Amino acid sequence: MSIPEIVREIVTRNRSIYDCMKMDLINYTALAVKIQPEIEKVLGYSVNLNTIVVAIKRYADSFEIKEDIKEESVLKNARLVLTDGMMDIKFSIKDSAEMDPISILDKFSKITSNYEFFRLSDSFRFLTEDMESIRQIFENIPNRENMFSTGLAKIRISIPANQNQSDVVSYVAEILHDNGIELVNAFFSQDSIIIILNERDASRAYEILHSDIVRIG
Q: List, for residues 77-86, the tens digit of each pLDDT value.
A: 889 999 999 9
Please report which confidence band the pLDDT of residue 15 belongs to, taking 50, 70 and 90 as the band edges.
Answer: confident
Q: Is 12 exposed, middle or buried (0-12, 13-18, 19+ CB in 10 A)?
A: buried
Contact between 128 and 115 under an 8 Å Cβ cutoff? The reply is yes
Residue 99 pLDDT greater than 70, yes or no:
no
Q: Do 91 and 139 sit in the same domain of this protein?
A: yes
What does the alpha-carbon distance between residue 181 and residue 153 come to, in Å, rounded to a whole number? 13
The residue from 48, 64, 80 where one domain ends is: 64
What confidence tens digit (pLDDT) does each residue in 159-185 have? 877 666 666 777 888 888 888 898 888
Q: What is the CATH number of the domain that holds 205?
A: 3.30.2130.10
Q: Do 198 and 124 have their domain in common?
A: yes
93/199: higher pLDDT: 199
Max avg pLDDT among 124-133, 145-154, 196-205: 196-205
- Pair 157, 106 in one domain: yes
Average pLDDT over residues 115-128: 78
| pLDDT (0 to 100) of residue 65 | 56
Q: Please tell me which residue, 210 or 141, carries the higher pLDDT value.
A: 210
Domain tally for the chain?
Answer: 2
Domain that holds residue 30: 1-64
Distance CA 78, CA 206 (A): 12
**75 and 115 part of one domain:** yes
Are 175 and 209 in contact, with CB atoms under 8 Å apart?
yes
Q: Do 90 and 14 sit in the same domain of this protein?
A: no
| Cα separation, 16 vs 13, whole angstroms | 9
pLDDT number for residue 93: 65
